[in-house]
Amino acid sequence: MNPSMHAYEHLTLYHTGIVLGLVLVVIHSLLLFRAEQCKLFLIKFPRNQKIGQVILGLGMLLFWLLIAPEGKGWISTLAMDMTEFNAVKPILRLLMPVLFVLVALSITEFLSVRALGLLGLLIAQPLLSAAFLKDPSSRLLIPLWTYGLIGFSLFWVGMPYTFRDAVTWVTAKQSRWNACCAAGIAYGIAILACALLFWKGF
């Protein structure tokens, strides 16, 4: 293992595919077989301030770990070199807790959706790193899903009402809900199959 590489660069395509595939299958299976409870949760989600604060905290914690000081043990595991912006990292580390409190308390409209978008953007990097320049062409299943995540996350941060509109659309008809859940399960199974069959060693 090369110590000069960032932790994300050590992620393997195989293990990333297994984790992502399982997450997609489990989440979409839950949405399918617990449809009424999940629909109710998603409808209420955009206005759920407490969940928004928790998700925002997770996102900001992940970002803080990316700019954490080096040489501090496990705290520095995800620390990332920001080249010419390294000089502002100490300032950002001090500002993050303050920003969390200000944002969590001042934003009352769709905080949960905005926070989910922030977390989605942060999650995208390790997924793309795991598939970067790997040989199997089937690896594109991960970047395709990830770029979709990035697109949705940008909308959720900038135009959070689009999440509400999407939930309204998908919950309007049971057949539409079932089709979306089945598509998510199928995509997860495809990633799992490729990981088990083609991605070992990558």
Whether 59 and 69 have beta carbons less than 8 Å apart is answered as: no
Query: Per-residue pLDDT for the chain (202 aa), expressed as one digit of tens each?
Result: 555 678 888 899 999 999 999 999 999 999 999 999 999 999 999 999 999 999 999 999 999 999 998 888 888 889 888 888 888 999 999 999 999 999 988 888 899 999 999 999 999 999 999 999 888 899 999 999 999 999 999 999 999 999 999 999 999 999 999 999 999 999 999 999 999 999 998 9
- Outline where the chain has alpha helix (H): 13-33, 35-44, 49-66, 89-106, 111-131, 141-158, 161-171, 174-198
Contacts of 187 (CB under 8 A, 6+ apart): 24, 141, 145
Exposure string of 40-74, with b = 16+ CB inside 10 Å and e = fewer, is eebeebbebeebbbebbeebbeebbbbbbeeeeee
pLDDT for 135: 87
